[in-house]
């Protein structure tokens, strides 16, 4: 069994590298989602705050940018993209990958779900990846279904944990969204305290 399991260490290392990078991207996106949820919960209190509005828009844009990149084509101009499709191709190329069929099927299903999400308004091509002029004139962030984006990110995170555990023997602990939100609420509270001190000292005048 050991001979079969480690019959191509270099290619398995490639799988691990791609999966680890994608896992890091998932963790980043989960951080962004936690920030957006915290800001959403305070939207009534912060509705007129220009700084928070711009911050939220920036986080939304970065979340969507990372989201579309992890589901990018496996190659562009002969260079490889660290994406779900590249990971799928690597798994397909290597013999004796544990749970190979299940992993490939689940990665394909994720890619199909991504295509369905971005097909509404074609916002991947028209707004996030490129500044299509006509789309900019008509752009509304509501065209993006953020709950579906979030759900897909967690699905990707789950399959990456399976790959890392069964193929690369790396165990990952789940990121708790509740703890992430707690962290950012605390951080925002600290920021408020700092701003109050700055205000008292006249630093914001």
- The length of the chain in residues reads 205
Other C-beta atoms within 10 Å of 158: how many? Answer: 14
- Per-residue confidence band for 4, with pLDDT thresholds at 50, 70 and 90: very low
Q: Among positive and negative, which fits the CA dihedral 83, 85, 89, 91?
A: positive
What's the confidence (pLDDT) of residue 9? 76
Q: Which residue has the tokens 């996030």?
A: 128
Q: Per mean pLDDT, which range of 25-29, 38-42, 140-144, 152-156 is the poorest?
A: 140-144
Residue 202 has pLDDT above 70, yes or no: yes
Over residues 170-197, mean pLDDT: 87
**What does the alpha-carbon distance between residue 72 and residue 203 come to, in Å, rounded to a whole number?**
45
- Per-residue confidence band for 93, with pLDDT thresholds at 50, 70 and 90: confident
What's the confidence (pLDDT) of residue 139? 67
- Per-residue confidence band for 6, with pLDDT thresholds at 50, 70 and 90: very low
**What does the alpha-carbon distance between residue 52 and residue 40 come to, in Å, rounded to a whole number?**
11
Contact in structure between 97 and 103 (CB atoms under 8 Å): yes
pTM for the model? 0.86
Contact in structure between 33 and 122 (CB atoms under 8 Å): no
**What does the alpha-carbon distance between residue 168 and residue 19 come to, in Å, rounded to a whole number?**
9
**What does the alpha-carbon distance between residue 5 and residue 98 come to, in Å, rounded to a whole number?**
8
**What does the alpha-carbon distance between residue 195 and residue 189 come to, in Å, rounded to a whole number?**
10
């Amino acid at each position: 069994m050991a001979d079969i399991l480690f019959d191509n260490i270099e290619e398995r290392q490639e799988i691990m590298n791609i999966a680890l990078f994608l896992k890091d991207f998932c963790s980043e996106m989960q951080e962004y989602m936690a920030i957006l949820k915290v800001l959403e919960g305070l939207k009534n209190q912060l509705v007129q705050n220009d700084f928070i509005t711009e911050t939220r828009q920036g986080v939304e844009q970065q979340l969507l940018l990372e989201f579309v990149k992890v589901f990018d084509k496996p190659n562009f101009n002969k260079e490889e993209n660290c994406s779900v499709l590249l990971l799928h191709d690597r798994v397909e190329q290597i013999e004796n990958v544990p749970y190979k069929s299940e992993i490939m099927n689940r990665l394909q299903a994720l890619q199909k779900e991504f295509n369905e999400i971005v097909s509404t308004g074609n916002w991947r091509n028209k707004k996030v990846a490129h500044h299509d002029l006509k789309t900019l004139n008509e752009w509304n962030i509501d065209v993006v279904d953020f709950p579906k984006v979030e759900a897909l990110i967690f699905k990707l995170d789950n399959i990456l944990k399976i790959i890392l555990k069964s193929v690369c023997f790396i165990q990952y602990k789940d990121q708790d969204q509740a703890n992430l939100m707690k962290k950012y609420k605390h951080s925002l509270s600290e920021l408020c305290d700092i701003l109050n001190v700055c205000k008292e000292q006249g630093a914001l005048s």
